[in-house]
Every structure is written in C-alpha cells, then in structure tokens.
Amino acid sequence: MSKLFEYALLKVVPRPERGESINVGVILYCPEANFLGARIYLDRERLQVLDPSLDQQSVQAHLEAVRRVCAGGPEAGALGQLPPRERFGRLVAPRSTVVQPSSVHTGFLEDPEETLNRLAREMVYPPEG
C-alpha cells in the first residue's frame, strides 16, 4: 500500500550572492511508516571549486548533525527528543546559512529506505558512468 511522504534536498550555498550550490543530502519523512532518514554526500572537490576558502569540516559537521537529528535520541541534543514530524519541520525550515534545505516535495512510496536511497542516487550522489 502506498504511503504519502515528504522530502527536501540539502544543498551547500557557499556564497549566496553568487547563487551557486551543490546538492549534499536528502531528508525523507513518512509519517505512516514512522520514518525519518537522511542520506548525505559531500563532494569535496566540487565544493572546493565553488569556494576554496569554505570550511569543509564545518559543513561536514553540520551534515552529520542532520543525520543525528533524523535518527533521534540523546546524541542529537534537544532536537533529537522531538517527535519525527517536528524534527523534520525544523530540518527543512528555510534558512540563509551555508547549508540550506530545498522546498519540501511530496510523493507516494512503498518502502521508505528504498525511496530515500533512490532519491539520493538521482539527486545527490555523483552520476554513475
């Protein structure tokens, strides 16, 4: 049976004034499956081209924090204690930081893990070839 899900891409925007970004992750939330997960991939070479001065370790730390918040629990701090719906809402709230979420998109799925992996392959990971 198909279940409604929501997702947002995470992108790094090193210099907002230039409008350039790269996709670095995807967050998927499916309330019917009680699922909140993220796939993260930081292409350091592409990021280096966009902004050689960007602190990539700081960006990676922010992305790891997103992964922890999705997983929930005490390791994720106060946000990790919130219900999945609220954690998703906080993670995809618009912001003007270096790591930004896209707008939220919806769809239907059968398997949240498979759909999250597919979205990551299609929109985040480097193309195979």
**Which domain, by its residues, includes 75?**
3-123
In the chain, the number of structural domains is: 1
| Residue with the two structure tokens 């106060």 | 78
- List the single range of 11-20, 29-38, 68-77, 84-93 with lowest mean pLDDT: 11-20
- Sign of CA pseudo-dihedral 113, 93, 107, 21: negative
Token representation of residue 41: 């991939």
The pLDDT score that the predictor gives to residue 129 is 59
CB 10 within 8 A of CB 66: yes
Residues in the chain: 129
3-state secondary structure of 11: strand
CA distance 119 to 116: 5
Of the pLDDT bands very low, low, confident and very high (cuts 50, 70, 90), residue 1 is confident
CB 86 within 8 A of CB 52: no
The pLDDT score that the predictor gives to residue 61 is 95
Q: Is residue 45 part of a domain?
A: yes
The pLDDT score that the predictor gives to residue 128 is 78
Helix (H) or strand (E) holding 99: strand 99-101
Q: Is residue 128 part of a domain?
A: no
Q: Is residue 63 part of a domain?
A: yes
